[in-house]
Every structure is written in C-alpha cells, then in structure tokens.
Structure 1
Amino acid sequence: MPAPLASPDVAAVLAQLSELADPRIRAVNENHGDDHSVHLGKLRELAKELKAQPELARELWRTGGSDARLLALLVGRPKQYDRDELDAMLRDAGRPKVQDWLVNYLVKKTRYAEELRTAWLADPDPVVASAGWALTVERVAKNPDGLDLPGLLDVIEADLKGAPERLQWAMNHCLAQIGIEHPGLRDRAIAIGERLEVLKDYPTPPNCTSPYAPVWITEVVRRRQV
C-alpha cells in the first residue's frame, strides 16, 4: 500500500500527474514491463517547473507510483541520498524505467557509485545485478582504468546467453560498449556476440541501431569514423 501523503504539496503534484496521465501511453509501456502513464517529456516539463525539491522527491518516491517516482528522480538531488538509501531504492524500484532513471539520474552522480557498482554486480538478484552492469557500462565508456575488461568479457561470454531479460540487456550493453570503446578487444567482443546471437532477431525500427552487439559495435564505430 502507498504510504500516507505527508504534505498537501504531494497531493497537488499527484493531482497534476493524474491530469497528465494517458491510458494509451500506459498501454504501450506495459508492453515493455513498465506502467507509467505520463509522457516523459511532460514529466520533464513538470520537473522543470517544480525545480529541485529534496523532501518532495522523497515523499513522491514513497507513494510507490511509477509516474511519481520518475518525477521524484527528476526533482531530487543526488547528494541528499546516502549509500544505504540508494541501495534500498534500487531494490524497491520495480519497473525497468524507474530503475534506469534511478541509476542514471541519481546513483551515477553520487560518491557511492563505484561502491554500489561492485556490490550490485555480485548480488544474486539478477535485477540488482543488472544495475551493477549498467554502472559498469559507464565505467567502460568514461573511466576504464582499473577495470579488468578481458575478465568482464569472460563473464559475459559465460553468462549472457542464459541471463534473465533485464540482466541480459545490461550485460549485452556492456559487451557492445567494450567493443565500441576499446579497439584491442573489438574483434573478441564481436566474436562473442556472433557466437551467442543474443538479440540477433530483435525487431529494430528504421533509423535505429540494432541491440545485436556485432551490428551495434560496427555501426557506432562506423559513425565515429565518418
């Protein structure tokens, strides 16, 4: 059950979210495991109006609704959360979009990012582990010093094929990122993708890049060389 509302401000914001809700958007999102009903662009517009409000962010998160939680992640401040609170939020995030925004808009910007990355990678819960892999993608792209990239490829090669969906997506992203960012490992990353064939047949809209790692790697490298 959602926690009781702690202030009239929360009730007012929830009323705004209710007005912005569109059942057609929710129906589309449910196909991807999500349940938010407000267009993400409108959520960002509302967040811009509200500006940073740490306490409101906490109260919105406690309501449990995905729209409210996504808004909370936009109006919160990374420095307001400690390590244990971020860990608890990740484990309670539930929906993929909420988890994705939590990792990208909060956790990555805190001083706990590396500590949580290593802890989550080793977590037996595949959903939690997927967040660790998402943070690893960030390290691979921006700060790879100290990472055992060949070792990461070993793990991906062994576990990617049989991983649950959310974990598989995160590991596959890491595979592609290693191939894109590190030319010395590119051939191996492509070979792993070709052998495992994960997401090879994933339907990809026109003008979008396939999530199949060999195609993803090749296309991004090609664009950077143009």
Structure 2
Amino acid sequence: MNLEMVMQELEALGKERTKKIYQSNGAHEPLFGVATGGMKPIFRKIKRNQPLAEQLYVTGNYDAMYFAGVIADPKAMSEADFDRWIDRAYFYMLSDYVVAVTLAETDIAQEVADKWIASDIELKMSAGWSCYCWLLGNRPDSEFSEEKLADMLELVKNTIHDAPERTKYAMNNFMYTVGVSYLPLHDKAVTIAKEVGPVEVNRDIAKSKFLNASVNIQKAADKGQLGFKRKYVRC
C-alpha cells in the first residue's frame, strides 16, 4: 500500500464523534477521527514500514501521524529522526502516545529521553518522562540504574508543581509507574508521592483538577499489581 491508499482507508474509517473527542484533547485539522482499534486491519496488511511511516507522519494529519507510530520500525530510527518527530508532535497524544511509545522500543530510549527531559520544552519533557513510563512498564528492572531513577524521583519532587501542564501529567505518571513497576524503588516512590501530594493541573480553565500518584499507587498495591510489566509497548 502507498501513502494515497492508506490515507483513503483512514478517511473511510473516520467518525465525526471520534474526531470531536480528539479535537477536545488538542488535535486540530486535518484529521479524520479514526478509532485506534480500527487501524488494526490496515496494520495487518502493511506490518512495519518505516519509509511509509515517515510519509504519513509529515502529512500533519493526526490519524496519519498516529498510524505512522503503529507501522514505524523504531530500530530503523536515529536520534535525529526522533527529534524530527517530537518537533512535529503538536499535542500530547502525539508526543506521549506516538513518539514516546515508538522511542521506548529502541536501544537509545533513555539517552534521548534524558535530553528531552532537560530541554525545558513542555511536550519534549512530557515525552521524555512518558518514555520512561513505557520503559519501566515493559522492561526488566535490571535494565535501569536505581541511583538514576532515585535522582529522577527527587527531580519530580522538587519541580513538578512548577512544571508545564502536560509535563506535570507525565511526571506524576512517572512517580506512579516507578511505584508500581520498578520494585527496587517502590518505597521511595511511595514516600515521594506522599510528599508531593495532589498536583493541580488545568489551572487556566474554570475547573482545575488534581492528580494524586500516592492514592493511585496504593490502589494498584491493593489490587496486587505491584511489579506489573506489559508484554509489548505498542499494542
């Protein structure tokens, strides 16, 4: 299948209701409103195809960009490729659920994520923290430096309340993921999540909300989910 054929198939799968949901989360035109599950039949026909993924990603069409992540071959992508992708990711569903997820399947994931976290650019930081969440929820604990993750928890404690909005979400999720999926630092994550307390987000709209990693780690513990690892990063 070529670019034009894939775009036609995606357009045919689009639904106005799904489109409105994506737009309420920050997506903008062009987009069709394709449910992610609806993309699976197209993926089965194409499998991994990095050249086609690159063509889809540069269209700027949200559904095409998302599908690019589905068919991407992460091992064929360099740091420069990921930098290009993150620069085009204009809202969190692309930065955290396409670019970060794809990056998490590479050997350079931590190295690139570290640079993004240090960038002071909201969606880059968000993608960096999110990448660690995908990694921690999938890879063995032995692949991580306990000291490094402990330092990252301290960084969250010291900076989360003043971080940009989407970065707050990703940092909060990092505390939760360390607490649930990285057993060597479970206790430290619990302690820091309690110290951080509720994190206010969406302060710029009428009704802000609060994230609470401490409560959610406890819920996961109560359900016997500590040590959880998913088999695959991408579904």
TM-score normalised per structure 2: 0.79
Equivalent pairs, count: 210
- Check if 1:184 corresponds to 2:184: no
- Check if 1:66 corresponds to 2:53: no
The answer to which of 47-56 and 168-177 deviates more is 47-56
CA shift at 1:92, angstroms?
Answer: 1.1
- Segments of 5+ residues of structure 2 without an aligned counterpart are 202-206, 227-235
- Structure 1 residues 46-87: Cα deviation after superposition (integer angstroms, max 9, x where no partner): 212222222211111121111111111111211221111111
- Check if 1:79 corresponds to 2:78: no
Higher relative contact order (CA 8 A, sep 6+): 2
Q: State the SS of the aligned residue for 2:224.
A: helix
Label 1:113 to 1:217 Cα distance change in 2 as closer, same or farther (>3 A).
same
Equivalent residues in 2 for 1:164-179, closer than 5 Å: 164-179=164-179
- Check if 1:112 corresponds to 2:102: no
- Check if 1:29 corresponds to 2:32: no
Name the residue aligned to 1:96: 92
User: Distance between the aligned counterparts of 2:86 and 2:118, measured in 1?
Assistant: 15
Contact 1:202–1:211 (CA under 8 A) maintained in structure 2: no
Contact 2:91–2:123 (CA under 8 A) maintained in structure 1: no
User: Distance between the aligned counterparts of 1:74 and 1:49, measured in 2?
Assistant: 12
CA shift at 1:140, angstroms?
Answer: 4.9
Label 1:15 to 1:138 Cα distance change in 2 as closer, same or farther (>3 A).
closer
- Structure 1 residues 164-196: Cα deviation after superposition (integer angstroms, max 9, x where no partner): 2210000001122233343331441332243x4
1:124 paired residue among 120, 123, 132? 120
TM-score normalised per structure 1: 0.82
Contact 2:92–2:123 (CA under 8 A) maintained in structure 1: no
- Segments of 5+ residues of structure 1 without an aligned counterpart are 1-7, 204-209
CA shift at 1:108, angstroms?
Answer: 1.0
User: Distance between the aligned counterparts of 1:82 and 1:215, measured in 2?
Assistant: 38
Contact 1:202–1:212 (CA under 8 A) maintained in structure 2: no
CA shift at 1:158, angstroms?
Answer: 2.1
Name the residue aligned to 1:221: 221
Q: Which amino acid aligns with 1:115?
A: E
- Structure 1 residues 21-70: Cα deviation after superposition (integer angstroms, max 9, x where no partner): 11111111222223551011112232122222222111111211111111
Sequence identity (%) = 20
User: Distance between the aligned counterparts of 1:91 and 1:137, measured in 2?
Assistant: 20
